[in-house]
Structure 1
Amino acid sequence: TRHTHTHTDRSISHRCFSTLLIGFSLLLWKTAGLTETSALCHRTYSYTVVRPGPNLNMIVGANGTGKSSIVCAICLGLAGKTALLGRGDKVGLYVKSGCRKGFVEIELYKQGGNVVISREIHVDTNQSVWMLHGKVCSQKIVEEEVKALHIQVSNLCQFLPQDKVGEFAKMTKPDLLEATEKSVGPPEMYAYHCKLRNFRTKERELEVIEEPYLKVFYTAHERYIVKRSFYSNKISTSNSAVNPSQYLAITVDAEGKQQLEQQMKACESKLSEIDERMSALQREGAALARRDNELLSEKKRLSELKGKKRQLEQKISTKQDSLRQTENSVIDLKKIEEETKRKIEAVNSQKVAILRANLTMEKVHLALKTVGLMAEKAKLENSCREGATELKATDQVKVRLTEQCKGLLKKAKSVCRMQLNENLPEDLHNAFTKLPDTLAEIDAMLNEEHSRAEFFTGLSEQVVEDYNRKEEEIKNLEKELEEKVNALNAYRQNISEAKERWLNPLKQLVEKINEKFSDFFRSMQCAGEVDLHFENEDEYDKYGIRIRVKFHSSTQLHELTPHHQSGGERSVSTMLYLMALQELNRCPFRVVDEINQGMDPINERRVFDIVVRTASRKSTSQYFFITPKLLQNLKYVDEMTVLCVHNGQTVSPDQWDEKKFVTRRLKRTART
């Protein structure tokens, strides 16, 4: 375990320009992380240097020594907003009292060359001067450089200051999902999520809603329909061509035809019912066959039980022979055996009698049911024959009506002075072809023509102009509607493709987080789950991550909220969720400030062990754990770095003798 001591000199008030270095060795890291950071007159410090290790960094110090000032320096040095820290809205408030300006410098590891970011803060104007690699630049350039290294100081899953620890449990499920996607998801995951939300918004705007008719009216050649939209409450119109004039030259006995059609439908209905009854009989026959198979299986099972009974009787006989050889026995085993055998035989006889009676009753019942079904079948066959007879009679009527129609056609040709073998003119043939096929449709057409005639009152030039204008508007609206329908189909296709690329990897990511999270809770003899929560799978802005925890065996899993769990339980849940992200993290480092406040000693020790075990692995990113205190006899590993923060007028990092301090402490311990 490496120990680094950070010094705060509060006596040098005139030194308002110095450096805070936070970072790790430049040759050890594969991802961007803090190598060195410098801060001048930053809140607590006049001058200090902090050099963290590549894995877990435990920053320890009493309250007021300036631990959280290191966190503030990291945030402000990486272009973070002051609102993220919750300690003041103006950047000048973070400069040490009595100084007119402060300075923060952070060095980040990057393949091909480290990134050095500097920020000079002016108290009077609350303005900052930014430098990248020693050259003055804009804040936007710094933000882009930080973003390229996957650093998100605004993400509570990566950067959790002391005053924002309670905010984690207050995050909504969608907010937690967004923060998790940005922190550990692949870069395209959050982009696909944003696309889906935008696509869904456009889809809502383009959805076509069915509209009710308000009014229908006719002109000489058009039928107009006025509608009101349920969706937008706007009124729209549509039109369609009115069928041209028709010629009705023949008449038939409509009432007789209608009766025959009804009779044919009744026959067809009876035939359909007969088919259904036959199907039902077939199903019942199949059920009887299955029942017969079941009885055979039961008989086989009883035979097997009878064989087992014989085996048991043989075993009993063997045991009885053995018992006869027992001397000085006061129990008449033979008498008991005979009595037992008699009881067994009586019971078996009763069972056989009951079974035979049941089988006999079942067979009688099935026979009676079969007789009834056969009678029903004969009845249905008679009904079917009667229906066939009626159908035959209907066919005869149909032939008679056909002959009658031919006679009427002959009469019509005679009236029209046409030869019998002469074909109808093309216009008449087309007109008759367009006529409806049923009497009801012909009546409906006549009613439509009557309605059109009633509304027709003559046309003026103004009416014609209005009609032409409306017709043009309708065409434009139809074209616009077609374009919107095409756009809607395109958006739906885009939604389907983006959803497939987003949802499946997201489910796998949440499952990995849940696996880690659940393991951590089980190691603490508690229970916890993480799942992807949504109510409607098409509402992509409502998707979220739900955390549920249980700290007592007598309770159920409850969702993590700001009110249900205690402060310590919320801190444990927050810490374990962040640790579940640790090995999945794309970000170069994570900062957690004083999250162990409010934990009971047992949970604090367990959480500490999980943090040390997880954050000290070489495969994970750099981790800063800030705390004012530590329990005794905790487990430490060589891969972690302990940063001790002190303050005072006479403490100087150049004069600190770590070996002498440890030796003196060991001597004191030995004396006590």
Structure 2
Amino acid sequence: LGARSAPVARRPAGDRRSPHPPTHPLSLSPLLAGVQREGGAPRANGGRAPSARRAAHCGARVPPPPWALAMGEKRKAGGSNDFLPGSIISVELTNFMTFSHVKFEPGPHLNLVIGPNGTGKSSLVCAICLGLASTTKVLGRADKIGDFVKRDSSIQYGKVEITLKGRREGETPVITRRINKRTNGSDWRINGKEVSQKQVEELVHSLNIQVGNLCQFLPQDKVVSFSAMKPHELLQETEKALGDSTLYQQHQELIAMRKDIRDVESSAENHAEKLERLKKQNAALERDVERNKERDAILAEVDLLKKKLPWLRYNEQKDVYLEAKEKVAEAKKNVAARAKEVQAADVPVASLTTRSKKVQDSQLDAKKRIHTLTKNRDRVQRALSASEDKVSEVTEELDAVKREAQNFDKRKADLEKKIEAIDHALANDPKLQVDAEATKEASNEKRKKAAEARAINEQISDIEQDLKDPQSKMAHLADKVKLIGSKRFKRVQALEKIGNPNAGSMAKWVQEGKRSNAFKGRVWGPLAAEVDIRPGKYARLYSNYLEQHVPRHLWGAYVTEEEADRDRLIAQMKQLQHKATVIRYTGDTGAPLDRKGPPDAFAADGVACTLDQVFEAPSIVKHVLQDNANITNAYCADDRVNWEQVSQGRTPVDGVLAKGVRCLFTPQSRIIQKGSNYNAQSISKEVNQIRPARIFTEVSSAAEEAALKKDLAQLKEGCAELEGKLAEYKERRKKVEREEAQARKLQEALTKVHRERSTKEAQRRAAESKLAQMEPLNIERAEQEADAKLAKLATKQAEQALQLVGIVKEHMAALSAYDGAQLEKLELETHLDAAKEAKKTAQARMEKAESLQLELKAILQKEKANLKELQEIATAECELTDDLREKFASLPDTADDCKEAIAEGKRKADAVVLSNPDALAEYQRRTKEIKVLERKTKDSQASYEAAKAEMDKIRSEWLPILRALVQRISDAYATNFARIGCCGEVRLEEAGDDYEQYAVAIFVKFRDNEKLVRLTSQRQSGGERSVSTMLYLLSLQSLTATPFRVVDEINQGMDPNNERKIHQLLCRAATAKGTPQCFVLTPKLLADLEYNDAVTVMCIFNGPWIADIAQDFSNQGFRKRIRAAA
């Protein structure tokens, strides 16, 4: 019977249990040795997973039974000549849906694929569809191609290989599709050669395979869709299935053409209506148009005048420019003439200047001579005067000698008395008596005490030097002990311990700057040092809250009022390599902190306050913390409430948060409640465990402080001993200094006596010396000496007087020469001044001419620029063509006349009364539209006629053939229905030119007391629709050139009688010559159905003992049972 064998699963050895009975009774079960899937992975559409026992024996193979071998030999003898081009010769699947590996070898005619639900029948349908380059949409199952790969974590690829009958003898193209489950991609091959999907589609199309046509390929999930198909859709699917789809293409062309013709008709109607409307509107505007034309003619002349006006202005400006150009030329000639006058006036000036220079040189020589003679005259006069003074001096000396001679005795007696008085004082005055021994002793005592004082001072200096280092150390240690005990030091030290190693250096630098007033404004920081936790029972707990809530970097931050201080802090931080934030706060520090409610709003719930209430700090620090950490909205709870106690599914925390609190601190946790930016109803919670404070827990420094105090005590003890010695030496120094002062005072008294005695002795020696030098004076000799000196002086004076007379004469001559030069100089200067004045006048006239020339040049440039600007304006208004020159000739020739003509034209234009000022523009616009619409109407008519002729031509080709084919389908349909004792008819419902509404209507009658009624998805039962669908597909077999047809589970819902009749029709149709290959898939068949040699039966079963069932059947036993049943 053409059945072929395939591997089946074997029952485990030693298992003697009875095999499971078949899903339904099958009289032909031995014949239906079909295909058993290997493996048991779930189906792509969610089928059941195989049992563990069945899966354990997947892939086992047994030799085919003898009868199956006989059938295979018979198929080989027949060859593949019965296969039509495009028929399926074999389908081989690997890791595809339910199969690990299987190969189907269908027959060339009717193939019945039988198997219970879930065994994998539809896997064959899916493989044919996807293997022939169709889409998953045709199947109505999974959307992704990767979902059709067998479900197994180790399997990434699936493969479908389909062998087709080619158009040429012996040609069997093999199409292979390899599916990648991970990427949902596919690789394609034809006869082992890698190709693109488009090449596969071209091959499938060349064999007239239409997997997307429900008349050819009707998978299980599309059966209902086919029966529910609208009549016009059924017609188009039928057209696709008939022949080479020419009818379908012609139908689509007719639909498109009809739509285009409708568009053309609609457009033509709209154009005609619009054309008529525009013509009527233009007729109503003709009177207004005439007025508009009259006004436009006036305005056209005005426009022409406006065009000429710039050119007239240009011509007038050109005349002005040429006049200015002539004036510049005249000014240039004038400047040249004035330059010649200046050159002529310069000649006498040069000559007089030369003569004046010579006179000045002569005058200068005379002046030098006068100066020299004056000096000589003054020198001789001084010498003469000196001689006269010398005469007076000699005369005075002689008089003095005479007077001294008269007082000699008296002076001698006075000196002797003075010597006698001094001797008496030296001998008798106790104040002048010198004790040499006492003076020596006093001097020695003074030196001794001074040396002793120096020694003591050295000791004091040594002790003081010894005290400097320990005293400095004491002061440093005292400051350090004081600092260790301060809050600021402890906070800064805590900052260093948590990762800010240079926090101390930075804080020290800031404090020094504040003490020295180095900052322009106030500076706070680090902020941790500015905060004081309020004392109380919960101070440590609140410290934990505050430190955890505020960002850590903020505790090391600094705050300034001035920008310069901020920059200075940042620069110092860079130098120290210290990382910290510097904030310049510009807000109002006196303003209250922003808060949503009072701090004690939730006191009744155990929430005592907000975070800003637990510490003291400068106002600006609190504002900075508020801006950066929102401390006023962080609520602090204490341990008076058990916050983790659950009551009715809620904790006290939930109750507080439900009242709108966003941040809550409890002794155990910090809870932050946040709302979504995208959904106001979405609330999330962040819960963090409370950590112990590291900054606000005072750092223990007791050991360090004790060590520092010990060192300080030792230093104090050493300093006290040295200070005692220093006091002792200072006391000794005071005593020695007193003794030294007494010795010095005694020495000074003795020295004073010695100094006074020495003075008296010196006075006595001077008086004795003067007395010894006194001698009687010779007046006669003094007179002789004076006469000799006076005679010499008289001779010298005479010589000097003669010399003076000569010098005076020369001086007078020099003065005369000088005065003559001066007179000549004055005369020359007068003439030179007159010449210079003449030159200056000529120069001024030339400069005036040059200035005028420059002014005229500037005017010329200005007029030239104006000319160019007017030319550009005129050119922009219009290009001066010959035509325009002719038109301009009849218009006024001056700008003023032209402006008057323009004003007159405007008055005339304004005098024309227009009821519709836009009439002419509307008239012209509509005229253009009328011309365009007339042309479009003409073109539309031509397009319409051409499209109508082409549509009629295609219709004349399409409709007769379609009518004939539908009639043949109807005849075949009626015959097939008659064979099952019912009536059926297929009608072509025409709709004139509305080709979209052409339809195929199926009319059926299943009972004698009924009339033929239209097949719909509501009127008939499911079984009746299945019978109708199957018979319609059978009716298409003799008319279509499709290579194969697939129908999946079409017999669902059929009554047994109809199912048997349909099966009989299928078998008979399979034997008809040229019948295409057909695949009918069903989960069940009736017993004792009729078969023939054109029917190939393939069975797909699953189960743990299916292999034993297949092995137990044999060809001989099967025949015996058949004969016994007969």
- Mean alpha-carbon deviation: is it higher for 104-113 or for 545-554? 104-113
Cα RMSD for the two superposed structures: 3.3
- From 156, 180, 204, the equivalent of 1:100 is 156
What is the CA-CA distance between 1:83 and the residue it aligns to?
1.9
When residues 209 and 468 of structure 1 are mapped into structure 2, their CA distance, relative to the original with a 3 A threshold, is: closer
Q: How many angstroms apart in 2 are the aligned matches of 1:75 and 1:663? A: 39
| 1:592–1:626 CA contact under 8 A, matched in 2 | yes
Q: How many angstroms apart in 1 are the aligned matches of 2:968 and 2:1122? A: 48
Structure with greater strand share of residues: 1
1:91 maps to a residue whose letter is I
Q: State the secondary structure of the residue aligned to 1:89.
A: coil
Name the counterpart of 1:384: none
Name the counterpart of 1:336: none
Q: How many angstroms apart in 1 are the aligned matches of 2:932 and 2:3? A: 77
Q: How many residues align?
A: 431
1:102 maps to a residue whose letter is G
- From 241, 245, 269, the equivalent of 1:187 is 245
1:660 aligns with 2:714: no
Q: How many angstroms apart in 1 are the aligned matches of 2:289 and 2:107? A: 84
Q: How many angstroms apart in 2 are the aligned matches of 1:56 and 1:519? A: 20
Name the counterpart of 1:137: 195
Q: How many angstroms apart in 2 are the aligned matches of 1:127 and 1:46? A: 20
Q: State the secondary structure of the residue aligned to 1:120.
A: strand
| 2:96–2:158 CA contact under 8 A, matched in 1 | yes
- From 232, 239, 256, the equivalent of 1:174 is 232
What is the CA-CA distance between 1:648 and the residue it aligns to?
4.7
- From 940, 944, 965, the equivalent of 1:488 is 944
1:217 aligns with 2:284: yes
What is the CA-CA distance between 1:46 and the residue it aligns to?
1.0
Q: How many angstroms apart in 2 are the aligned matches of 1:45 and 1:470? A: 76
When residues 620 and 461 of structure 1 are mapped into structure 2, their CA distance, relative to the original with a 3 A threshold, is: same
Name the counterpart of 1:82: 136
Q: State the secondary structure of the residue aligned to 1:39.
A: strand
2:221 maps to a residue whose letter is D
When residues 669 and 647 of structure 1 are mapped into structure 2, their CA distance, relative to the original with a 3 A threshold, is: farther
What is the CA-CA distance between 1:192 and the residue it aligns to?
1.1
Ranges in structure 2 where 5+ consecutive residues have no aligned partner? 7-34, 42-57, 60-77, 266-274, 291-911
Deviations along 1:350-383, whole A, 9 cap, x unmatched? Answer: xxxxxxxxxxxxxxxxxxxxxxxxxxxxxxxxxx
What is the CA-CA distance between 1:646 and the residue it aligns to?
3.1
Deviations along 1:395-438, whole A, 9 cap, x unmatched? Answer: xxxxxxxxxxxxxxxxxxxxxxxxxxxxxxxxxxxxxxxxxxxx
Name the counterpart of 1:41: 95
Q: How many angstroms apart in 2 are the aligned matches of 1:173 and 1:576? A: 16
- From 1001, 1013, 1033, the equivalent of 1:546 is 1001
Q: How many angstroms apart in 2 are the aligned matches of 1:664 and 1:639? A: 20
2:1050 maps to a residue whose letter is I
What is the CA-CA distance between 1:4 and the residue it aligns to?
1.9
2:984 maps to a residue whose letter is G
Q: How many angstroms apart in 2 are the aligned matches of 1:573 and 1:210? A: 58
| 1:130–1:138 CA contact under 8 A, matched in 2 | yes
Q: State the secondary structure of the residue aligned to 1:107.
A: strand
When residues 51 and 469 of structure 1 are mapped into structure 2, their CA distance, relative to the original with a 3 A threshold, is: same
- From 508, 520, 539, the equivalent of 2:976 is 520
What is the CA-CA distance between 1:31 and the residue it aligns to?
2.3
Name the counterpart of 2:851: none
| 1:572–1:599 CA contact under 8 A, matched in 2 | yes
**TM-score, reference length from structure 2:** 0.36
| 2:39–2:98 CA contact under 8 A, matched in 1 | no
- From 204, 207, 210, the equivalent of 2:262 is 204
Q: State the secondary structure of the residue aligned to 2:224.
A: helix
Q: How many angstroms apart in 2 are the aligned matches of 1:114 and 1:63? A: 33
| 2:1004–2:1013 CA contact under 8 A, matched in 1 | yes
**TM-score, reference length from structure 1:** 0.59
1:487 maps to a residue whose letter is S
| 1:25–1:54 CA contact under 8 A, matched in 2 | no
Give runs of aligned pairs for residues 608-627 of structure 1, distance below 5 A.
Answer: 608-627=1063-1082
1:206 maps to a residue whose letter is V
Q: How many angstroms apart in 2 are the aligned matches of 1:580 and 1:44? A: 34
1:69 aligns with 2:123: yes
1:2 aligns with 2:56: no
1:598 aligns with 2:1030: no
Name the counterpart of 2:771: none
1:173 maps to a residue whose letter is P
Q: State the secondary structure of the residue aligned to 2:1051.
A: coil
Q: State the secondary structure of the residue aligned to 2:126.
A: helix
Q: How many angstroms apart in 1 are the aligned matches of 2:282 and 2:981? A: 71
Q: How many angstroms apart in 2 are the aligned matches of 1:189 and 1:671? A: 52
When residues 467 and 555 of structure 1 are mapped into structure 2, their CA distance, relative to the original with a 3 A threshold, is: same
Q: How many angstroms apart in 1 are the aligned matches of 2:1124 and 2:931? A: 99
| Bigger Rg, which one | 2
Give runs of aligned pairs for residues 58-457 of structure 1, distance below 5 A.
Answer: 58-98=112-152, 99-110=155-166, 111=169, 113-207=171-265, 217-219=284-286
| 1:8–1:44 CA contact under 8 A, matched in 2 | no
| 1:121–1:127 CA contact under 8 A, matched in 2 | yes
| 1:33–1:622 CA contact under 8 A, matched in 2 | yes
| 2:1027–2:1058 CA contact under 8 A, matched in 1 | yes
Deviations along 1:227-254, whole A, 9 cap, x unmatched? Answer: xxxxxxxxxxxxxxxxxxxxxxxxxxxx
Deviations along 1:114-146, whole A, 9 cap, x unmatched? Answer: 221110111112111111221222212211211
Fraction of identical pairs, as percent: 40
| 2:288–2:914 CA contact under 8 A, matched in 1 | no
Q: State the secondary structure of the residue aligned to 2:171.
A: coil
1:57 maps to a residue whose letter is N
What is the CA-CA distance between 1:656 and the residue it aligns to?
6.4
| 2:175–2:190 CA contact under 8 A, matched in 1 | yes
What is the CA-CA distance between 1:217 and the residue it aligns to?
1.4
| 2:1049–2:1080 CA contact under 8 A, matched in 1 | yes
What is the CA-CA distance between 1:480 and the residue it aligns to?
1.7
Q: How many angstroms apart in 2 are the aligned matches of 1:210 and 1:523? A: 67
2:157 maps to a residue whose letter is K
Q: How many angstroms apart in 2 are the aligned matches of 1:9 and 1:585? A: 33
2:1035 maps to a residue whose letter is A
When residues 559 and 460 of structure 1 are mapped into structure 2, their CA distance, relative to the original with a 3 A threshold, is: closer
| 1:3–1:644 CA contact under 8 A, matched in 2 | no
When residues 211 and 195 of structure 1 are mapped into structure 2, their CA distance, relative to the original with a 3 A threshold, is: farther
Deviations along 1:251-275, whole A, 9 cap, x unmatched? Answer: xxxxxxxxxxxxxxxxxxxxxxxxx
What is the CA-CA distance between 1:64 and the residue it aligns to?
2.3
1:633 aligns with 2:1088: yes
When residues 210 and 586 of structure 1 are mapped into structure 2, their CA distance, relative to the original with a 3 A threshold, is: farther
What is the CA-CA distance between 1:493 and the residue it aligns to?
0.6
| 2:146–2:182 CA contact under 8 A, matched in 1 | yes
| 1:29–1:54 CA contact under 8 A, matched in 2 | yes
* Segments ≥4 residues shifted beyond 4 Å: 208-216, 220-223, 456-463, 648-652, 654-659, 667-672
- Mean alpha-carbon deviation: is it higher for 515-524 or for 204-213? 204-213
When residues 638 and 497 of structure 1 are mapped into structure 2, their CA distance, relative to the original with a 3 A threshold, is: same
| 2:279–2:930 CA contact under 8 A, matched in 1 | no
Ranges in structure 1 where 5+ consecutive residues have no aligned partner? 18-23, 224-455
| 1:8–1:47 CA contact under 8 A, matched in 2 | no
